[in-house]
Amino acid sequence: MGFIKRTIQNMLKRPPSSGKHQDEGSVEEEPLKCSLQENIQRVKETLGNSGDIIIREIRIGQDERLKAAILYTDGLSNKNAIHDFIMETLMLNVQGTDLVQKMSSASHPLALLKESILAVGDIQDVFDFETLLDWLLSGRTIFLLDGYAQGFSIGMSGWEDRGVTEPSTQTVIRGPKEGFSESLRTNTALIRRKIKDPHLWLESRKIGRVTKTDVAIMYIKGIANDKVIEEVRIRLERIDIDGILESGNIEELIQDETYTPFPTVFNSERPDVIAAGLLEGRIAILIDGTPFVLLVPALFTQFYQSAEDYYQRADIGTLLRLLRFLCFFLALIAPSLYVAIVTFHQEMIPTPLLISLAAQREGVPFPAFVEALIMEITFEILREAGVRMPRAVGQAVSIVGALVIGQAAVEAGFIAPAMVIVVSITAIASFVVPSFNMSISIRILRFGLMGLAASFGLFGITVGLIALVLHLSSLRSFGVPYMSPFAPLIVADQKDSIIRVPQWAMFTRPRLISQKNVVREREGRERRKKP
């Protein structure tokens, strides 16, 4: 066994050559040349003379003594801004030879351009080809001057994006209707609109040797736990992969436990949800190219909370939350309970109902477990078909398909009518869960509990639920127990778990998440008592 374990570990080790993306045209740490033509030729060779890379050579000054080049990626840069603020400034507004004389006598001639000529705000120095290509392919504009082994990276990004629209996966009746988009800078701005505090810090990095995806972490300094922040940094720095295309790639690489059906990283496309998590001391991870923002640490109760709970009165929010937990148990154990009672524990059924069930199942050729398995698999197929098909016909296929197939199966004698009712209630209850990831976990565990119920009856369900509770209690999300505030029991945090107390009573943040600046509303109860 030790030999097999060592062999598997060696197979899973990363090959030595995967540290950097290298090939024959590698530009790793290669400095820029003094010759403008050599720099342009090196960029063309590295990018394979790609047609979307625009290289515009210009001359500066009245006597046109200075040769320069402007490089940008068509479709990722704002061409109008490049024309108005760079090319027009350098080619038309710069008159006479004073610029040439000043640059010739200056110790840092490029600094004169940056400080006195270019009418743009975001300018960064470029000294090597690797940095130049990274900025160029990120939508920034590159400015090179002949005779100098240095250039500028100018912030002129301007690609088309989807804009701020209503979120499609997390809708509420009352609350903000804006959602994240695929642009990282738009997403950070939406969060900044919610939290106008100087302690809201942003750290950026690039992940992916090929995609070089922009990833940012946001947290409120003084509220977020420093140990959790450092753990997030370490896990992100540890990622060494070719490409990151969606937040799910990051989630899978930084989560605490791999072999669990439960999500340990929360995601949302609503800025108000992310802002509320930041105010509780959590850390947000934003990935360019996706509208879903990650939030850590994540707790089990967090997946059953909705933004609408906090925009309604406390009693309405509590009722809705209790309904979600009830639907969690229905979606998890309703089919297995039916299978166990019908198969092993008929004495638990009232006599009139037992006679009715026996009459329904008289011509059914399959046992209850096979019935439930057939119906559950059929419904999962219909649900997946409704998601993958075009939106115009997807809902019709899922609804009509379920009705037609269920009715036909009952009339043909393959399925008992009671089983159709149980599966329908289970499916509807699974849709009540606000988080799609948690809903998938329930769907996976449902089949395991059905197998235990068919084998051992209620005893098997009890053992399965005990194992499930033990597994949940063993999970952690960035060092925070997954089942808190239930395990460990934190009485002060019960105000926002299964029930929600009024806003004036939630004057402290979760204890295990934010261990600094715990009080969010001072003297809230005293102010409430005043007339």
Sheet of 266-268, strand order: 200-207, 213-220, 283-287, 293-296, 266-268
> What pLDDT does residue 266 have?
93
Secondary structure of residue 310 in the 3-state scheme: helix
Q: How far apart are CA 200 and CA 220, in angstroms?
A: 4
Residue 172: inside a domain, yes or no?
Answer: no
Domain check: are 293 and 407 in the same one? Answer: no
Q: What is the pLDDT of residues 107-128, one digit of tens each?
A: 566 777 777 677 777 788 888 8
Q: What is the pLDDT of residues 164-174, one digit of tens each?
A: 888 878 878 88
Same domain (yes/no): 69, 204: no
- Give Cα 263 to chain centroid, integer Å: 12
Tell me the DSSP string of 72-139: EETTTB-HHHHIIIIIHIIIII--SSHHHHHHHH-SSHHHHIIIII---S-EEEE-BHHHHHHHHTTT
Q: How many angstroms separate the CA atoms of 332 and 446, rounded?
A: 5
When mean pLDDT is compared across 42-46, 86-90, 336-340, the lowest value belongs to 86-90
Q: Is residue 43 part of a domain?
A: yes
pLDDT number for residue 531: 43
User: Which one-letter amino acid corresponds to residue 165?
Assistant: T
Q: Structurally, how many domains does the chain consist of?
A: 4
8 assigned to some structural domain: no
Q: Are residue 473 and residue 496 in the same domain, yes or no? A: no
- pLDDT grade for 60, boundaries at 50, 70 and 90: confident
413 & 473 share domain? yes
Residue 232 lies in a domain: yes
Same domain assignment for residues 144 and 197: no
Residue 13 lies in a domain: no
Q: Is position 216 within any domain?
A: yes
92 lies in the same domain as 148: yes
> Given a cut of 60, is residue 176 above it in pLDDT?
yes
pLDDT, tens digit, for every residue of 397-443? Answer: 666 666 677 778 787 878 888 888 898 899 889 888 888 889 899 98
SS3 53: strand
Same domain, 200 and 340: no
Stronger pLDDT, 508 or 293, i.e. the higher one = 293
Burial of 213 (0-12, 13-18, 19+ CB in 10 A): buried
- Average model confidence (pLDDT) for the chain? 82
- Residue 143 three-state SS: strand
* Final residue before a domain boundary, out of 298, 332, 354: 298
Residues 426, 431, 434, 436, CA torsion sign: positive
Answer with the one of 270, 298, 326 that is the final residue of a domain.
298
The residues pairing with 480 across neighbouring beta strands, listed in sequence order, are: 477
Mean pLDDT of the 242-253 span: 91
Q: Is 160 left (phi over 0), alpha (psi -120 to 50) or beta?
A: beta
- DSSP, res 16: G
**Residue 375: exposure state from Cβ atoms within 10 A (0-12, 13-18, ≥19):** buried
Residues 376, 402: Cα–Cα separation, whole Å: 11
Residue 401 within any structural domain of the chain: yes
pLDDT of residue 347: 87
Same domain, 222 and 344: no
Cα separations in angstroms, 415 against 347, 379, 411: 22, 14, 8
Claim to verify: residue 52 and residue 149 sit in the same structural domain:
yes
Same domain, 130 and 205: no
Lowest mean pLDDT among 23-32, 82-91, 109-118, 460-469: 23-32
pLDDT in tens, 200-241: 999 999 999 888 899 999 999 989 988 999 999 999 999 999
Q: Is residue 424 part of a domain?
A: yes
Domain shared by 411 and 450, yes or no: yes
Residue span of the structural domain in which 442 resides:
314-481
The pLDDT of residue 3 is 42
Tell the residue number behind the tokens 């329904």, with chain if given: 360
Mark whether 358 and 455 lie in a shared domain.
Answer: yes
Of 133, 154, 175, at which residue does a domain stop?
Answer: 154
